[in-house]
Amino acid sequence: MSSTVGQVIRCKAAVAWEAGKPLVIEEVEVAPPQKMEVRLKILFTSLCHTDVYFWEAKGQNPMFPRILGHEAGGIVESVGEGVTELAPGDHVLPVFTGECKECAHCKSEESNMCDLLRINTDRGVMIHDGKSRFSIGGKPIFHFVGTSTFSEYTVVHVGCVAKINPLAPLDKVCVLSCGISTGFGATVNVAKPTKGSTVAVFGLGAVGLAAAEGARVSGASRIIGVDLNPNRFQQAKQFGVTEFVNPKEYNKPVQEVLAEMTDGGVDRSIECTGHIDAMISAFECVHDGWGVAVLVGVPHKDAVFKTQPMNFLNERTLKGTFFGNYKPRSDIPAVVEKYMSKELELEKFITHEVPFSEINKAFDYMLKGESIRCIIRMEH
């Protein structure tokens, strides 16, 4: 790789030119990394629902042309000025949020909401100079959440890069850079169910299944999956889900159904849909005295929900979490080790694989609800 250091790299990237239109594989120029940046050679990336949401340009400022992608694994090609903790050849996972290690959040043991590098979906350029590192024929192409992994090479802030065990297979652990860590961490780091407890998971997409996996690893005795799509129930058994509730099959609120099933409520609930009704149900279904509900799903920015204050006074707790409360650089390498020691299973999340040239198939699989995770293999 040494021959490319300090040079512009020409490579293939999948560019979103306009909302909802298939991505186009283009030759792009990728500039060298600037101060506190690294340039990565992406080997595997996967499609997350967040990519689809911004590709569809629903409910946020549309920004095109853009290179999407944020769940990936790769190798450091070169580093910019001031980067000391990473070197060419290191195996890494880029992450959509970061850890500067300097701010109050990074110095806090409780928070992972870095002031400098927390997710910013409206920023299409690098923090250092407000410019893009991608261009086609001299015209800039916007970045996405600081990662833009639908490109053979990308430039990322050093604080958004987790250095991992080089023996870990990147085609598996790449899914830990977003959705799987978000759900798994919501359970093990925030809900913290005890052995033998009952856990309800709302929404059985990739994040919800990862939350269920966290409950399974924690030794929960009952894991109740709540979803409007009965086709997801069979698949969810692999992730430790023991019972299923489809709210459409009842003529009363699902929180009442769950309370009846569990002698007054579940011990922990994790909400992974982002829908207001599910959030209320997830909170109101936990047991008084000790129940904890954790919100993971992202709602519309103007959304509000109502619940009676007595639900809190009766000693129920409601928490929110972001990226499973993991600090990207400090914590994600240890999650990779959980996979390496077979404590955490990742293969079952990966339902499809396509070559980079067929990236639009990954969108089709997700839009049809056929995939949990589709790995996109770069063809360097």
Instruction: Classify residue 162 as exposed, middle or buried by CB count within 10 Å of its CB (0-12, 13-18, 19+).
Output: buried
**Contact predicate 255/279, CB 8 Å:** no
**Contact predicate 52/69, CB 8 Å:** no
DSSP 283: H
- Report the alpha-carbon distance of residue 186 to residue 180 in Å, rounded: 10
Extract the tokens encoding 6: 């300090």
Of the candidates 236, 269, 242, which has an alpha carbon nearest to the alpha carbon of residue 349? 236
Of the candidates 348, 373, 329, which has an alpha carbon nearest to the alpha carbon of residue 234? 348
Extract the tokens encoding 366: 């997700």
Q: Which residues are catalytic?
A: 48-50, 70-71, 100, 103, 106, 114, 118, 178, 373
Extract the tokens encoding 216: 């399974």
Only one residue has tokens 């009766």, namely 314
Tell me the chain's radius of gyration from C-alpha atoms.
Answer: 21
Residues 6+ apart with CB under 8 A from 93: 72, 73, 161, 162, 164, 173, 174, 176, 177, 332, 336
Extract the tokens encoding 349: 């999340």
Cα atoms in the 13 Å half-sphere on the side-chain side of 374 = 26
Give strand pairing partners of 151.
13
